[in-house]
Structure 1
Amino acid sequence: MSGRLRVTGASLRYPDAPGAALSGVDLDLPGDALVSVVGPSGSGKSSLLRLVAGLERPSPGTVAVDGIDITTVPAGRRPTAMVFQEETLFPERTVAENVEYGLLLHDVPAARRRERLEVALLQFGLVAVADQLPHRLSGGQARRVALARAWVLRPSVLLLDEPLAGLDARLRRRLLDLVVRTQRRLGGTVLHVTHDLEEALSTSDVVVVLDGGRIRQVGPPREVYTRPADAFVADLTGSAGLLAVDVTPTREAALARVHLWGSDRLVPAHPEAARSPHRGTLVVRPHAVTLEPLPPTRARPEIRGAVGLVQEARYVGERWEYAIETDAGIAVATGPVTGPIALDDHVLLEVADDATWLLPPPGPRGPRRPPR
């Protein structure tokens, strides 16, 4: 099974909406991959899934799965299945009957239907409740039934529109692990809409970042996190300091010289960021910054060069997170739980230059693909 998905020049507008839900979307996703679709509310995530499922039709644009154009194919005949936020189970049917329902609609022969049903009930841990009605199920069990009902169809592309929303963190993680294991076992492509960025980065083969109906970046999780296409993606995918720096080009396309905190440094850079001198933006993730508290003195130190002032200190269980005012902007750093740093402390900052990333200059909104 593959499920390679290609969306070309797809736009979508709802009749009562002021703007386009999707605008000129181009996607070419590999088969047998788990893809997370992320972005703020209203960015077009659910609209993209509805387009692929056939619940909406692009105008203009095309949708193809495994090289076959399905743009005009009705939803019920597409090699896709979709799971929504709400379970929408049939209240009068048992768990087994709910899971089997799609197989009946697709006229799957009885022997194969029974085999698929038994496998699905076993894989999703539903054997013990197979004869129960939905009102007897817990929230987690109901979500598993919805997932099993979609996956039993063996779709080339499974579309998950936040089906785990509203569950507690532990249960959500268990069900997500179940999705990952099932996808690895059965193959096919999974498009998973989520607001949980840690979840997207830790489970996906590919991350798609949407904003305002347009794609901002597509790539492997590590690339999207360490080489964000712009400040929006950098901020969306995790804590980061976006620091203003003076940029000087070098002869190496992958590096640029920047002036940060009183010294010149060679940092990894987007090719567009290393072409000419300019005032640029350096992405500095918390793990790249180390802090050293300065001893108290009578004279209040000046926020200048490598000296910063702690504006926020948050205890998050395994570490402290700090926001530090510097002459280049607000830096974010982490520290051990035993750290003596407190609010209004002056600290000496250092950064691992190879763990930073110089963003390209602002340009037209559209997908950028930083070099790997």
Structure 2
Amino acid sequence: MTFPVVGMVGGGQLARMTHEAGIPLGIRFRLLSDTPQDSAAQVVSDVVIGDYRDLDTLRDFARGCDVITFDHEHVPTEHLRALEAEGIPVRPGPDALVHAQDKGVMRAKLDAIGAPCPRHRIVADPADAAAFAAEGDGFPIILKTVRGGYDGKGVWFVRSEEDARDPFLAGVPVLAEEKVDFVRELAANVVRSPHGQAVAYPVVESRQVDGVCDTVIAPAPDLPEERALEAQRLALRIADELGVVGHLAVELFETRDGGVLVNELAMRPHNSGHWTQDGAVTSQFANHVRAVLDLPLGDPRPRARWTVMANVLGGDYPDMYQGYLHCMARDPQLKIHMYGKDVKPGRKVGHVNTYGDDLDDVLERARHAADYLRGTIVE
């Protein structure tokens, strides 16, 4: 029996964990990676080193694959269209993926389907950004480059016209958005297959520090059931309207009037879904593999009352392995996931998952382990 080959473009930690999820199914992986040192390139046996921005490189890579999927959203849209024209399945396809690649396209589509969004428009220069601010409640506003931003990169908190100069230096379109007075950030994670089957994970709370996800709590505490269902239905509708195949993360603002607004979209496994590795019957990674191969999707329900994911960021303590003795002895239920990355200050190098019936206890265990591995605490 011949098992299919899934081609993953991008060698980061998402590819590493997606590969891990395919191993029990006997799914073979082929990886297009920038360098042999990339997170996934360290563990996948079939690795092609090359530039995903080069169409010939993509073509050569794709010839050995049954389906192509992604660790990131940066592959040029026109290259993906070329692969599809040559009969190579690309999931999600370029018509869907462009909504995660280009924030301007995303906002236009979400407006067209009636999804709730912050007030926004494309602005031409700092003066136009100031005019946008004046059309609402004034400064501050948020400016984003329409392509290339992630983890706080390509995003500016702008307090004045003078403050708005830097976003335009890159020479790409800039999207202005109102600064939303939100209660907290939520994420609705769903997975959709080519034949239209879809599953929704519990809505989670995502806590950010300096624009980077720090902690995820599943399910979001004190979220009324009707609001959780509203967020799940919204994410499922977006996945259907955009023709998404695979995992879709819909990042949301919970507003003070009780509603939600769409902040960002990601069409790949997502940091807000890492808790599913140990906290759900079927992880986001396993369901993404199933979806791109058009296999029946797995059960997304949680295994425990609460699951908490805490990111491990690099600090001044590079030898994190030494921390395993303390962390594992202190919490035998702790799950540690490291990415094989060199430790650099502020860099995501891993995450931990904890679970249980008492949220305060689960939160404390996750935070303690992440801080100990980083070296922020020593006991």
Mark yes or no: TM-score above 0.5: no
Q: Whose RCO is larger (CA < 8 A, sep 6+)? A: 1
Normalized against structure 1, the TM-score is what? 0.27
Normalized against structure 2, the TM-score is what? 0.26
Larger Rg: 1
